[in-house]
Structure 1
Amino acid sequence: MLRNYIDFDQWKEQLRKKLLEKKIIEQVTAGMVLPDHAAILHYYETHTDAFTTKRQVKFRQIVTSDLRTAKNLQNRLRKGEDFETVARQGSRAPEAKNGGLVGWVEKGQLEKAMDRALFSLKPGQVSPIIHSPYGYHIFQVLASRPAGVRPLLEVTKEIEENLSLTNRRAFLAGWLKKRRKHVKVHIDSKIFQLLEQ
């Protein structure tokens, strides 16, 4: 078990090399220009499948382990209590502390009964009690998005980061290739044989 550990001096040397490598990469790529609008637009238009989404809903939920508790919580909601408050007090789901807020999900992402119930509701509506393998659920849909392609404005930053990373990797690969041409490398096959033993 201890053979996987390295001593402090080895660790320090590895850290020094990593930091040096990071500094070199930062210096070498410092002058790189960010992708322009034309490059971003071209990427967007040629990769629409990457930005296509299914129908989505943003929702809150209350989850209980038994039907009786779920019915009691449902009655509180029918009497006008706030969904967020009831979820905080009665749900056993991890998101209970956030008022039951789950966030956005795409159609087909959840268990079938849950998916069917959620995507049949309009924003503001509360579901009847739904049974699933996870317990008894009550959902409240907060918002909905139709299926479609996400707008360019929404994905511009994501595309810019993706193109920058791709350009940076290509630039570094070229830079390293040039450097290797000027460096003489000697491979000692005896060392490789020792390592294979």
Structure 2
Amino acid sequence: MTARFRLAFIFLFLAASCHAKEAPLEGAVATLAGQPVSVADLRETARFMGVGGVADRPFTTWTPAFAKTVFEETIYDRLLAEAAQRQGISVSPKEIQEEKKRILAISAPEGGRPVELSEELVRKKLLLAKAAEQVAPAPEISRKAALAEYNRRKGHYETPERALVRDIVVRSEDEGKAILTALAAGNSFSALARAKSLSPEGAKGGLLPPYALGEMPALFALAFSMKPGEVSPLLSSPYGYHILKLVKILPSADLPFRKVRDRIERHLREKAQREALAQWLAGKIRTEHLTILPKYASTLSLPLTGP
């Protein structure tokens, strides 16, 4: 699925709350294949994109950038919808229900009421995505092409610097202070972790999986300013009181090609699809004779009409 549809999928649930009462047909701003493209069409597209609140304002108050974006999306959607109709592309009720479940799973507020989704909006999204994949199918990416991309951007594929840390967690401040005293007296951090720590890692001497800066709660960032073997002061968190010991800092390193090949191939496929879709749309816009009415020529512009 191309990137231009992902944004609308993410915001699709917002559109359910943005439906206004059906407005009377508003004047045309352009023609495509002799058919009018009206302000009402632009409003419908904006709601489809999840920005209906802005779209319901008077068209004369839209910023040029917003109007241009919505206009382009309207043209693209109409061309893709026509392609879907010509090629007999359809969306089944099962596909709609599965997509609604997928969207709700990533967008429904935790503990809140589930968002109501318009089946027509979901159907349209799936239909346009299918049409885009039909007119710009994803190409096969060879190992040679993926490897060339890997070598070209090798520094981009790496594991960040990570800390290897042992952690002791106890319930009370007094327990934590007692452990710090025991450590200062030369007792083993690992042994104390096994005997005293509340965390599951206590059984492994408190050893945590390596983590990068920002991957753990804020208190664990302290390890990146410590020296190997150094023990932290007592640190508090919602889980209790922590004592950290830095084992070592693992330096950043390039990931081997085999670890990132799938990611690179996906990136190259999506890039090729975007370019192919842009070329298809540009060709259709030329052959379908898109014309912007003079009144709106200063606000709107012809999209994708370059060579």
Match of 2:257 among 131, 143, 152: 152
Residue 127 of structure 2 corresponds to residue 20 of structure 1: yes
Structure 1 counterpart of 2:274, which letter?
Answer: R
Deviation digits for residues 3-28 of structure 1 (CA, Å, limit 9, x no counterpart): x7205987555444322211201222
Please give the alpha-carbon distance, in whole angstroms, between the structure 2 residues aligned to 1:85 and 1:133: 14
Structure 1 counterpart of 2:268, which letter?
Answer: L
Please give the alpha-carbon distance, in whole angstroms, between the structure 2 residues aligned to 1:40 and 1:83: 50
Residue matched to 1:96: none
Query: What's the TM-score, normalizing by structure 2?
Result: 0.43
* 128 and 141 in structure 1: CA distance in 2 versus 1, 3 angstrom threshold: closer
* 63 and 105 in structure 1: CA distance in 2 versus 1, 3 angstrom threshold: farther
Q: Which runs of 5+ in 2 are unaligned?
A: 1-16, 23-43, 45-117, 183-187, 299-307
Match of 1:180 among 273, 280, 285: 285
- Tell me the secondary structure at the aligned position of residue 273 of structure 2: helix
Residue matched to 1:95: none
- Tell me the secondary structure at the aligned position of residue 82 of structure 1: helix
Structure 2 counterpart of 1:5, which letter?
Answer: C
Residue matched to 1:120: 228
Structure ranking higher on relative contact order (CA contacts 8 Å, 6+ apart): 1
* 18 and 55 in structure 1: CA distance in 2 versus 1, 3 angstrom threshold: closer
Structure 1 counterpart of 2:19, which letter?
Answer: I
Residue pairs, 1:1-197, within 5 angstroms:
5-6=18-19, 13-30=120-137, 32-59=138-165, 61-62=167-168, 67-72=173-178, 79-82=191-194, 86-87=198-199, 104-106=211-213, 113-117=222-226, 120-121=228-229, 128-130=231-233, 137-139=242-244, 145-188=250-293
* 23 and 78 in structure 1: CA distance in 2 versus 1, 3 angstrom threshold: closer
Deviation digits for residues 23-42 of structure 1 (CA, Å, limit 9, x no counterpart): 20122233x32211111111
Shift in Å, 1:43: 0.8
Please give the alpha-carbon distance, in whole angstroms, between the structure 2 residues aligned to 1:105 and 1:147: 10
- Tell me the secondary structure at the aligned position of residue 288 of structure 2: coil
- Note the aligned Cα RMSD (angstroms): 4.5
Please give the alpha-carbon distance, in whole angstroms, between the structure 1 residues aligned to 2:169 and 2:21: 50
Deviation digits for residues 126-152 of structure 1 (CA, Å, limit 9, x no counterpart): x63335697963236689744321111
Deviation digits for residues 71-112 of structure 1 (CA, Å, limit 9, x no counterpart): 356669665553896226x9xxxxxxxx995752159x9777
Please give the alpha-carbon distance, in whole angstroms, between the structure 1 residues aligned to 2:20 and 2:193: 61
Query: What's the TM-score, normalizing by structure 1?
Result: 0.62
